[in-house]
Amino acid sequence: MQLSEESVDEFKEIYKKKYGKELGDAEAHESARKLAGFFELLYKCAQEDSAKKRRLKKEPGGFPTDGNRNCLVCHAMITSENGWYDKYGQKCLNCQRALNTGAVPTYVFINHDSFFLPWQLKSKFDLPHATMRKLLRQGKLTARVITTENGGVHEYILLKKENPALVALEKWNPMRKSYDRHRDKVHRREMREELKKLKAGLYAEHAKWKKKIEKLRTR
C-alpha cells in the first residue's frame, strides 16, 4: 500500500507524542505501512460483515458462505459447498442441521464459550477421547451430539450448563489462584471436591482399562 509523505509525517508526529521517540524515515514508513495494512484488513472485514447483514434482510433463511472459512462451532473448514451463513453466523451444514433440529441450543451459536469440544477436554484437562466417550456412556459427562447426514457422530458438544464438573475443573486452575483468593472459601472447597471426584473417577477408569489390556497381553 502506498502512503503519502503527509500521512507518514502525521504518523511520526503521533508516535512522538505517544511514545516520546522520534522515528527515522525508513522506520516510520514501515510502521505506518503496517498499521495502514492492518486497518485496511479491519475495514474489509467490517465491509464484508455489513454486506452479509444486508443480504440477510432479503434472504432471512441465510445463504451459502463464500470462500474458505471455519465453522464457528466445530471449527471444520467450510466452503460455499458445505457452509451456511445466517443470523447465527457461519457454520458447517452438520452444525446448521443441529441448529435447525434443536439438537443443540441456539446460545451455542452465539456464546462460543458456553461449551467444550472433545479436543478442548484433551488440551485443557488431559482427558483422552476414549475416556470421554466412556464417561459419556456412564452418564458422568453429558454431550449433545451433532450428527452427520448419515446419522454418524460429527461432533460432541459438552454444554457447560450440563457439565458442572468440567466447569469446576476449568475454574480450578493454579494460574487463577489470585483471582480465586477473592472468592468465598466454601465455593473453592466445593470446586476442589468436584475435581477430586472427577479425577478419582478418571484414574479408576484408566486403571481398569490398563488391567484389561494387560490381561489381553498375557493371554
Q: Which stretch binds Zn ion (CB under 5 A): 27-35, 64-72, 136-144, 178-186?
A: 64-72
Shortest Å, Cβ 143 to Zn ion = 15
Alpha carbon distance 205, 199 (integer Å): 10
If we measure between CA atoms, which residue out of 191, 171, 169, 166 comes closest to residue 115? 166
Contact pattern from residue 89 through residue 128 relative to Zn ion, giving x for each residue in contact according to CB under 5 A and a dash for the rest: ---x--x---------------------------------
Judge whether 135 and 201 are in contact, CB under 8 Å: yes
Position 158 contacts Zn ion (CB under 5 A): no
If we measure between CA atoms, which residue out of 129, 128, 161 comes closest to residue 144? 161
Shortest Å, Cβ 31 to Zn ion = 39
Q: Which of 8, 28, 71, 157 forms a contact with Zn ion (CB under 5 A)?
A: 71
If we measure between CA atoms, which residue out of 100, 42, 48 comes closest to residue 69? 48
| Total of residues contacting Zn ion (CB under 5 A) | 6
Position 157 contacts Zn ion (CB under 5 A): no
Task: Name the residue nearer to Zn ion (CB basis): 90 or 131.
Answer: 90
Shortest Å, Cβ 91 to Zn ion = 5
Judge whether 29 and 8 are in contact, CB under 8 Å: yes
If we measure between CA atoms, which residue out of 37, 4, 33, 24 comes closest to residue 12? 24
Give contact residues for Zn ion (rule: CB under 5 A): 71, 73-74, 76, 92, 95
